[in-house]
A = this chain, B = another copy of it.
């Protein structure tokens, strides 16, 4: 999974009907010191994440293994809100 921070929301009226009602959040990648990296991804929220939350994003077919995203055209999902990182390197 990728570590990231929610920085915003995508508004899209015209979309695949399977996506109606889903919250599409913008997640910028973070490094282990919580600094923003260049990359970002648009992910479906399944854990009530909000702007400012540090989260984990799961990608690919694994992004469809939640109750909300099953069988939908979704390739990235927020599946955890991070409380804390314990890093010793």
Contacts and interface: CB of A to CB of B under 8 A. Distances in A.
5 cross-chain pairs, A with B, having the tightest CB-CB distances, nearest first? A15-B80, A8-B87, A12-B80, A62-B75, A7-B89
Given A11-B84, A46-B73, 17 more contacts: A1-B42, A10-B80, A10-B82, A10-B85, A12-B80, A12-B83, A14-B47, A14-B81, A16-B46, A18-B65, A24-B56, A26-B32, A51-B88, A58-B75, A62-B73, A65-B72, A73-B79
A1 B41 contact: yes
A10 B60 CA distance: 21
Interface centre among A2, A73, A87, A89 (most CB of B within 10 A): A73
Interface of A: 1-3, 7-16, 18-19, 24, 26, 28, 31-32, 36, 40-43, 46-48, 51, 56, 58-66, 71-77, 79-89
